[in-house]
A and B are shown apart, each in its own frame.
Chain A
Amino acid sequence: DGGITQSPKYLFRKEGQNVTLSCEQNLNHDAMYWYRQDPGQGLRLIYYSQIVNDFQKGDIAEGYSVSREKKESFPLTVTSAQKNPTAFYLCASMKTGILRYGYTFGSGTRSTVV
Chain B
Amino acid sequence: QQPVQSPQAVILREGEDAVINCSSSKALYSVHWYRQKHGEAPVFLMILLKGGEQKGHEKISASFNEKKQQSSLYLTASQLSYSGTYFCGPFNDMRFGAGTRLTVKP
Residues of chain A having any CB pair with chain B under 8 Å: 33, 41-43, 45, 48, 58-59, 90, 99-108
- Interchain CB contact under 8 A, B94 and A42: no
Q: What are 24 A-B pairs with beta-carbon distances under 8 A?
A: A42-B87, A42-B97, A42-B98, A42-B99, A43-B96, A45-B95, A48-B94, A59-B95, A90-B41, A90-B42, A99-B30, A99-B49, A100-B47, A101-B44, A102-B32, A102-B47, A103-B32, A103-B34, A103-B42, A105-B41, A106-B41, A107-B40, A107-B41, A108-B40
> A90 to chain B: which residues have CB within 8 Å?
41-42
> A59 to chain B: which residues have CB within 8 Å?
95
- Interchain CB contact under 8 A, B2 and A42: yes
> A48 to chain B: which residues have CB within 8 Å?
94
Bound CA span A42–B42, Å? 11
B82 in the interface (beta carbon within 8 A): no
- Interchain CB contact under 8 A, A33 and B94: yes
- Interchain CB contact under 8 A, A102 and B95: no
B77 in the interface (beta carbon within 8 A): no
Residues of chain B having any CB pair with chain A under 8 Å: 2, 30, 32, 34, 40-44, 46-47, 49, 87, 91, 94-99
**A-B interface contact total, Cβ < 8 Å:** 45
Interface centre among A43, A45, A90, A99 (most CB of B within 10 A): A43
> B96 to chain A: which residues have CB within 8 Å?
42-43
- Interchain CB contact under 8 A, B49 and A102: no
> B44 to chain A: which residues have CB within 8 Å?
101-104
Q: Looking at chain A's contact residues, is the secondary structure mostly helix, strand, loop, or mixed?
A: loop
> B97 to chain A: which residues have CB within 8 Å?
42
- Interchain CB contact under 8 A, A99 and B47: yes
> B49 to chain A: which residues have CB within 8 Å?
99
- Interchain CB contact under 8 A, A108 and B41: yes
Given A99-B30, A99-B49, also A43-B87 (CB < 8 A): yes
- Interchain CB contact under 8 A, B91 and A99: yes
> B91 to chain A: which residues have CB within 8 Å?
99, 102
> B40 to chain A: which residues have CB within 8 Å?
107-108
Bound CA span A45–B43, Å? 17
